[in-house]
Homo-oligomer: A and B are copies of this chain.
Amino acid sequence: MTKSLTGNNQYLKELNQAAVMELIRQKGRLSRKELSDLTGLSPTACGSITRQLIQDGFLYETGQGESTGGRKPVMLEIRPNSYYAAGFDIGMEELQMVVADITGKILYHRNLEYTSGISVEKAMDLVYDELLVISEELGLSRERFLGCGLSIPGLVDRGTNQVIMAPNLSWNHVDLKAKASDILKMPVYIENEAMCSAICENWIGKCRNVDNFVCINVESGIGAGIFIGGTIYRGFSGSAGEIGHLIVQENGRLCGCGNHGCLETYASTRYMLLEVNNRLNNGYSPKSIPKGTMRWDKIVEAAGKGDALCAEVLHQGAKFLGYAVAFLINTLNPEAIVLGKCFTQYAPMVMDTLTKTVKEKALHYPAARARIMTSEFGMSSSALGAAMIPIRKIFGK
């Protein structure tokens, strides 16, 4: 079908602009001649497209490349500090915010803590205030923002741009895009938090050239963001990646979903915390920490110092997480699995347990071909990924 390419000049122009930007992003720098060769566009068309992109501030001319006979060609690169995007990760206990430029460089990163949950209105107020503060601090004008991504711990409908449900925040059927666009006066994109992490890994992280991979985030719940064929996979109605309720123990622990033995009841921070505290209150005395109710970060710390109970709970979580990873490897045969968020805090302690479980429970053929990694972004992958959403649009993604 060639209609869309000949019938609509504006569409074609944007397509070609995005293609030029993406090629330069992939290669780092290119001459106009190289762009023409790689795109199949005429030198005239290439000249016109790059002229516009330079004028608009997306590209700039930078030094000279290698000569292939004649005079040395002028090289084009993506212009840093030209356009920006903001990303907000709205979590149970904190709002994370990030500003990045179109090269993916992080210019600003801040966390705001609150206690157990936040209302939609309060969250939007915070986002608005933060954007004002940052714009001032960094001296950025609002027109230089390509948009804002909001990472939500819940189910998002990208068609209607609604938050269908975010159980941990008690948000249900919120038209967040409309609310946020009204306040922020820039394009707003809503995305599931595990998917934001997957976008982050694909754009600036460990899965930059990986087409098929799964990002698994361990937090108070467990969710996955899936990339298939180089693009985001959302499923039929946008809820793909809900791996937290895999039954790992027939007749096991009661889960919030009403079932018994879900993965989350063994491997999420909420339930691991619950187990430690339950066992502490029933008389267990850890050697390295005071008695009483523990917070999540103390569990990781205690396990690191050799506390047997805390270590046992983390290892058990990693074992059952390994069951889910094994099944994902068998079913999806991904090139990579990236474990993120809270898992990165205790990964060095339990990674052996997880990979050993995967080796035992997955088929050898796909398991031998899947790299299992931890995210390098710690708790920030979703905020970073959210900021990458408006930036990716410039590159046709």
**A330 contacts across to B, CB distance below 8 A:** 242-243, 245-246
A19-B247 Cα distance, complex, nearest whole Å: 45
A245 touches B361 (CB 8 A): yes
**A326 contacts across to B, CB distance below 8 A:** 245, 247
The reply to whether the CB of A178 lies closer than 8 angstroms to some CB of chain B is no
1/0 contact trace for A321-359 toward B, CB 8 Å? 001001110111111000000000000000000000000
For the side of the interface on A, what is the size category?
35 or more
The reply to whether the CB of A283 lies closer than 8 angstroms to some CB of chain B is no
The complex is assembled from copies of this chain, and their number is 2
**A389 contacts across to B, CB distance below 8 A:** none
Instruction: Assess A235 versus B366: contact at CB under 8 Å? Given A242-B331, A243-B330, A330-B246.
Output: yes
Q: Which of B233, B331, B333 contacts A236 (CB 8 A)?
A: B333
The reply to whether the CB of A138 lies closer than 8 angstroms to some CB of chain B is no
Q: How far is the CB of A73 from chain B (nearest CB, A)?
A: 20
**A373 contacts across to B, CB distance below 8 A:** none
A327 touches B240 (CB 8 A): no
**A239 contacts across to B, CB distance below 8 A:** 333, 363, 365-366
The reply to whether the CB of A110 lies closer than 8 angstroms to some CB of chain B is no
A246-B226 Cα distance, complex, nearest whole Å: 19
Instruction: Assess A238 versus B333: contact at CB under 8 Å? Given A2-B5, A228-B228.
Output: yes
* 5 pairs from A and B in contact (CB 8 Å cutoff): A1-B39, A236-B335, A246-B330, A247-B327, A250-B250
Which residues of A are in contact with B by a Cβ distance under 8 Å?
A: 1-7, 19, 39-41, 155, 164-165, 211-212, 224, 226, 228-229, 233-243, 245-250, 257-259, 323, 326-328, 330-335, 360-363, 365-366, 369-370
